Amino acid sequence: MTEDLKLTVVELNKLLETDYNLITFDSLSPESLLQVLVDVFHAFGALDKLDVREADPEETNALVMEALRKVQYRPAEDIDDPGAFRRGMVRGEKRLIHPILWWMFEHRERVKKAAYLARFLIPLDLPPEALAMPELGSLWAQYQETMNGFKEAHRAYEQSVHEGTQTRELRNDISAIETEIENVKKRIERTQSRLDKVPQQELLLEAANALRIEKERQKELLQQIDEQRQDLSRASLVHDRLQKELHNAKQSVQGATPRNLMDGLVEETQVLEFMVQQKLPQELQQRQSEVQTLQEVIDEPNITRADLQELQQRIDELTRDIQRMVEGRMADHSTQSDTLGPFRQQAAMVARNKEAAAEQLDQTTKELREVERQLQDRQRQLQDTVGEVILRGEELKQFVSTLRAKSNVYKQQRAELAAVKAEVSDLTQTLENLKSQDPSLSGALSQLAADEDGTVPGGKEDSASRAESPTGGGARGMTELARLVDGLQRAVGAARERVTPLSQQLRPLRERVIELKDEMDSKKQTYDALIATLNAESATMQSKITETERAIHKLEQEWQELQLEHERSQLLLEKANEELSAASAAGSGERVSLKETLSQQILEQEASLKRLTEEKANLQASKTDRAQQLQMWTDLRKLFEVKIRCLNESKQRGPGGTLSVSRGGAETFTLQ
């Protein structure tokens, strides 16, 4: 999920030129997140520019749903309620908008193509009454023909692009094949020219073929030997493991006697009997009582505030009764001598210890089952990974030590290889420097290489002819070449003597650099994993903090409301007490009591509620007529909009008809 969110943030910053990160993007308000979605739709061409804060929410929701239909987005399978999906989009929920953004960036080209085609292929929404008009019917037929023409043109364009791509690929393949054919022909010609100079070609070819066959056979035999060695090592490991298991089994049963086994079985039977007869029935009865309590809570009607107050009063009364009974019992026990009190205490203590031991045994049994299940899963994974052989104990230690020794050998050989490569690089650089200082050295070396290439097995006659030729210029050239080679060897030897101590000093430094690089890579991976974990945890903590702040704010509001209600109740109680005191002091009939005032207000509220109920019933009765009238006005408005659009299009195309307006206000447009 974090990787998808990273991709969304990166692509969003590229598309909209913003600077969001994971935290800022995840902490966007629902309105801002919905605005980001609308901007992305606009960038892909599926929606016009829109400001969510100024537009109507229902209109915005309708436009967003239309854009989703244009880009052919399908919600996740766990979302099966379209109404809930629409309400979530209106509220700007992250769990709905984040997957939409990720899907659009993941299928960018598909979304662009769908948005482009939707502008021309989604038909207009016209009522059937408008299509019944002759003028609109002809325009609608023309509109359908144009849409079909666009479909054919787009299909032809896609086919031509695909064919062009295939043609370019075929041309490139053909040119590459022709080039390869030419190279192969040249290689064959060079090889044939070399073979023509070699005597007894057939014998050499047969010998080379036989050598190749023998090498392949040798390779197969070596592979078979390696496989047999591996099978032998596996079999020896399995044999050793089975021997150790057999030895352990013999040791485990070495001191066992029938009496010991019988005592163990009796103890285990007693424990299981206690669990079955005492522990499990208590837990079962407790679960049944909980289920019964929950069922009673479900069956009871909704609890009001008065019911809560009554229950609180009953709880207080029962608490006082229990406390009074406990005090009386303690007073009775203090006055009488109880000789069985210590024994009761000891019995209660033993029962508590027994229950605690049973609880601990149950918990330990559950943990043991969970550990065994995890062990089986790990063994199954290990068996799927490394095969049937599973190393344990001494075998695993031996394997680790062998692996460590091989790792040390590998590091040593890698260091030697690095030193050899460095020395080759130094010698190559030295040779280049010598060539730059003495230009004749390059020609001499090339001549020497040509002479070495020219010495073939059948070249005795050529060497004899060169020996018979005049030796003036050739001997002088060979002397100079020998002198140059000797000088080059001395220079190389001196350079090697200078480089050898430096390379020896450089070797441990290279090893240290390699070790530090490996350590840096491992620590960098750890650091990256830690940073990703911290980012995810910080985002989670931020969401939890936001939810907690909202809950605190809600609780504060509820507390303030309860405080206000309490104050109002206190005022009413004070007024009632004042009226009672005044009525008792001055007699009745002089002023209206608070009870009568509240009764009058209750009657007024009941009359108002009855009146509102009647109005609601009247509105419900006329709802169908009003909805039908609204639909008729909406259809009329759409009809006028279509007429205005057709009039504007006709004005843009030029004179194509006449518009006449009657005295009653009716308009008639006649096509020519």
> Do the domain assignments include residue 107?
yes
Q: Is the pLDDT of residue 60 over 50?
A: yes
> Do the domain assignments include residue 628?
no
Say which CATH number the domain at 49 has.
1.10.418.70
User: What mean pLDDT do residues 229-246 have?
Assistant: 84
> Letter for the amino acid at 200?
Q
Q: Is the pLDDT of residue 122 over 60?
A: yes
Residue 540 pLDDT level (bands cut at 50, 70, 90)? confident
Residue 463 pLDDT level (bands cut at 50, 70, 90)? very low
Q: What pLDDT digit, counting tens, does each position of 174-192 carry?
A: 888 888 888 888 888 887 7
393-437 and 439-454 helices, crossing angle to 10°: 120
What per-residue confidence (pLDDT) applies to 259? 79
> Do the domain assignments include residue 14?
yes
Q: Which residue has the higher pLDDT, 135 or 553?
A: 553
Torsion angles phi and psi, residue 177, rounded to 5: -65, -40
Instruction: State how many domains the chain has.
Output: 1
C-alpha pair distances (Å), 439 with each of 240, 424, 431, 442, 445: 70, 22, 12, 6, 11
What per-residue confidence (pLDDT) applies to 464? 38
User: What mean pLDDT do residues 88-102 have?
Assistant: 80
> Do the domain assignments include residue 664?
no
Q: Which DSSP symbol is given to 340?
A: T
> Do the domain assignments include residue 569?
no
> Do the domain assignments include residue 78?
yes
Residue 467 pLDDT level (bands cut at 50, 70, 90)? very low
> Do the domain assignments include residue 30?
yes
CB 45 within 8 A of CB 114: no
Residue 456 pLDDT level (bands cut at 50, 70, 90)? very low
Residue 221 pLDDT level (bands cut at 50, 70, 90)? very high
What per-residue confidence (pLDDT) applies to 347? 78
What per-residue confidence (pLDDT) applies to 457? 42
pLDDT-wise least confident of 110-119, 372-381, 495-504, 585-594? 585-594
Token digits for 330?
């303690």
Tell me the β-bridge partners of 669.
659
> Do the domain assignments include residue 133?
no
User: What mean pLDDT do residues 369-390 have?
Assistant: 74
Token digits for 123?
């038909």
Q: Which helix (H) or strand (E) holds 657?
A: strand 657-661
User: Domain range holding 27?
Assistant: 1-122
